Amino acid sequence: MSEHEFMQMVQSAVAAAEQDNTLVALVHLENATHFGSTPTLTSYLGYCLARERRQFKTASGLCIEALKQEPEQVVHYLNLGRIYLEAGQKGLAIKTFRKGLRVGRNRIIVRELKKLGFRKQPVFVALPRSHPLNKYSGLAFSFLGAR
């Protein structure tokens, strides 16, 4: 397989993954790994493994490996954040998405962050967010429309 054919296979897999067809992308990426490896391939392979096979440790390891090779590529942060979301680790996902935005602007990361929503400032900032006073006064103010 030539370098051009290999890159075409990776690009078609990336396109399938971005169209939310991760099963097709996973098949293409696994076939492509027999002929070579790139950080983009590794990153998207991790994302597809998390989505389709729920292999979160392997998936996050692959994305972290891709980030070590290309720390300036925003798409690796996007895929790692998506893996954390699939694994139910919302806090890590948000941190990863924000790191990605510091590296460069990406409309998909912005869309993912908007989907997750933003939390309002606690009523009493000196107290922890989980403190009952913050919790119930925030609910009361929201109900009254004061927040």
pLDDT digits (tens, 9 = 90+) for 89-137: 999 999 999 999 999 999 999 999 999 887 788 899 999 989 999 999 9
pLDDT for position 120: 80
Q: Kindly report the number of other CB atoms within 10 A of residue 34's CB atom.
A: 9
pLDDT of 118 reads 74
Both tokens assigned to 68: 């070590």
Minimum mean pLDDT range among 15-19, 114-118, 136-140 = 114-118
pLDDT at 46 over 80: yes
Instruction: Please tell me the class of the 3-116 domain.
Output: mainly alpha
Tokens representing residue 113 in the block: 């962050």
Roughly how many angstroms between the first and final C-alpha of the chain, as a whole number? 60
DSSP letters along 116-142, please?
Answer: H--PPPPSSTTS-TTSHHHHHHHHHHH
pLDDT above 90 (res 142)? no
More confidently predicted of 145 and 56: 56
CA 125 to the chain's CA centroid: 29
Residue ranges matching CATH 1.25.40.10 in the chain: 3-116
For residue 22, the tally of other CB atoms under 10 A from its CB is 22
**Percentage with pLDDT > 90 across the chain:** 82
Per-residue tokens: 22: 């991760």
Q: Helix, strand or coil for residue 33?
A: coil
Start-end of H helices in the chain: 3-18, 22-32, 39-53, 56-69, 74-86, 90-103, 107-116, 132-144
**How far apart, in whole angstroms, are the C-alpha atoms of residue 59 and residue 61?**
5
